[in-house]
Amino acid sequence: MFRITLFLPVLLLTVTFTKSEDECNLSQELIDEIRSYQTVVDKIIDATTNGQFKGATFKELATFVDKFGARLSGTRSLEDSIDYLLDLMKSYGVQNVHGEDVQVPLWVRGNESAKMLLPRETNLAVLALGGSVGTPDEGIEADVVVVRSLEDLHQNYSNAVAGKIVVFNYEYIRYGVSVSYRRQGPIEAAKHGAVAALIRSVTDFSMNLVHTGQTSYEEGVTKIPAVAITVEDANMFQRYQERGQTVRVKLNIQTESFPEVKSRNTVGEVVGSENPEKVVLVSGHLDSWDVGVGAMDDGGGAFISWYSLVVLKSLGIVPKRTVRAVLWTAEENGMAGVIGYDAAHKDELKDFIFVMESDEGTFTPLGLEFIAGKKRDLHSHRDIEDDDSISNWLLAPINATQAVRSSGGVGSDITIWKDVIPTGSLLNDNGKYFWYHHTKADTMDVLDPDTLDKATALWASVAYVVADLKDDFPRDFSDKGFYTIPNVFYVVLLSLVGLLLH
């Protein structure tokens, strides 16, 4: 995943829910309507976790990643994998299957190696960060300076890193915070004259694996090689420095950047029976980094998305509105896929009722995480919680009964819409997500067939119910043009999945 913020023009939408519901008080009619979906949700869950689709999401994904391996933006492998999926979705009877062209970056890793020369000689595991420049052919040899943070660099080492290799051995806080070293570290090191930056892998746990990911450069600042190292090596460099020992490293990193090339977002639908122009979107990204095979990031998210359409279509479950799967391209190195899609579909976004993306793991599903407008206080939802036992919630059969309002973003691609369209992602037991993230360990072995079945069942159920409800999810722009929606949205979501935690 990779997050950026874009500003989109405000959409004008009407509110169809009534005033009393705005106060977090669902009408009995709406409660009854939501409850009426239990039969069809049970059918989806049963077919996916016990019946005809049991194990299918995992099996399809394993076949796919074994066939194509890594799928880096701009590569033949990614394009071949898109062709394959377009054919596969058609063969399952998914409707309106097509690719939508977008221009995407092409950056390629070449040979890379690193050797510590002092205080002892040993090879180091390294991965150039995406977008990084390479070293000269003969490599770069320099002493190492370890800093703890950007502030540490500025305050304590600004005059000490010219001609040196800077190691960023920051304290891991959480991904969204610590990832800034990957993006900003090389820029700040270069400003002080460093010749390369070695970034501690962004993870909360390490077994000596290197984690890649996108880096960035700044106009007017020298581009220096930006390279990931293991947590273990970063700590080792730190210890040498604290003992006053000189650390010398030789880096040889070859990379190449090419002009943008054509790729495609992969799209398929179950067309709505009454309002086909209105869309509930399910998504994940098909591209991956060039290490591992992108089974977890984001094969799982992409496959539960298109396979949800197969489940609905095969069971003859057709909602009033369209459920559309979009498998984004080029998420990892700047989200060119969703940016192109947004530009091409600007006029239709007003009809996007709910957009979902799973890009933070498909481990045991717990429910939904969502952002729906500006944060506001929740009240009165206790009425609903107290109203019924947990076993009555639609997704209780798979124990995915939590709805959590995200404080940051949801998904990665769809974050660009978080202020204009209600967005949701798969809440899952992803405490180990960053262990594998952007490494060669991102393989099928991270995933589990039964767990993927539950995730597909959740995804298909939520998409179907939201696409079939009598009324659209409400939205209004009363608050100085900033997007807000009535509390009833939250209540509807928590009624779908269960208990609200916030």
Among positions 50, 156, 257, 392, the unique one binding ligand NAG when judged by CB under 6 A: 156
113 in contact with ligand NAG (CB under 6 A): no
DSSP3 helix / strand / coil % (the chain, rounded to 5): 35, 25, 40
380 in contact with ligand NAG (CB under 6 A): yes
What's the CA gap between 403 and 356, in Å, rounded?
A: 14
Among positions 5, 14, 39, 111, the unique one binding ligand NAG when judged by CB under 6 A: 111
Binding string, residues 389-408; x marks residues near ligand NAG by CB under 6 A: ----------x---------
All residues at 6 or more sequence positions from 112 whose CB lies less than 8 Å from its CB, including other chains: 126, 127, 128, 227, 252, 253, 254, 255
Nearest distance, CB of residue 128 and ligand NAG, angstroms: 13
Region of residue 74 (phi > 0: left; psi between -120 and 50: alpha; otherwise: beta)? left
478 in contact with ligand NAG (CB under 6 A): no
CB 312 within 8 A of CB 48: no
Task: Please state, in angstroms and as integers, the Cα–Cα distance from residue 337 to each residue in 14, 101, 120, following that order.
Answer: 29, 9, 45
* Window contacting ligand NAG (CB under 6 A); options: 87-95, 144-152, 218-226, 331-339: 144-152
25 in contact with ligand NAG (CB under 6 A): yes
Active site residue 331: yes
The alpha helices in 361-410, defined as continuous H runs, are: 381-387
* Window contacting ligand NAG (CB under 6 A); options: 18-26, 74-82, 166-174, 273-281: 18-26
Calculate the CA 249 to chain-centre distance: 34
CB 363 within 8 A of CB 425: no
Nearest distance, CB of residue 359 and Zn ion, angstroms: 4
Residue 23's binding partner out of Zn ion, ligand NAG, none, with CB under 5 to 8 Å set by partner kind: ligand NAG
Beta strands in 29-94 (DSSP E): none
Site for Zn ion, rule CB under 5 A:
1, 297-298, 359
In the complex with ligand NAG, which residue's Cβ is closer, 49 or 149?
149
366 in contact with ligand NAG (CB under 6 A): yes
Q: Give bridge partners of residue 423 from the DSSP assignment.
A: 355, 371
All residues at 6 or more sequence positions from 361 whose CB lies less than 8 Å from its CB, including other chains: 296, 300, 426, 428, 430, 433
Among positions 43, 54, 115, 148, the unique one binding ligand NAG when judged by CB under 6 A: 148
Nearest distance, CB of residue 383 and ligand NAG, angstroms: 7
208 in contact with ligand NAG (CB under 6 A): no
Contacts to ligand NAG by CB under 6 A? 20, 23, 25, 110-111, 148-149, 151-152, 155-156, 254, 366, 380, 399
For the annotated catalytic residues, the residue numbers are 331
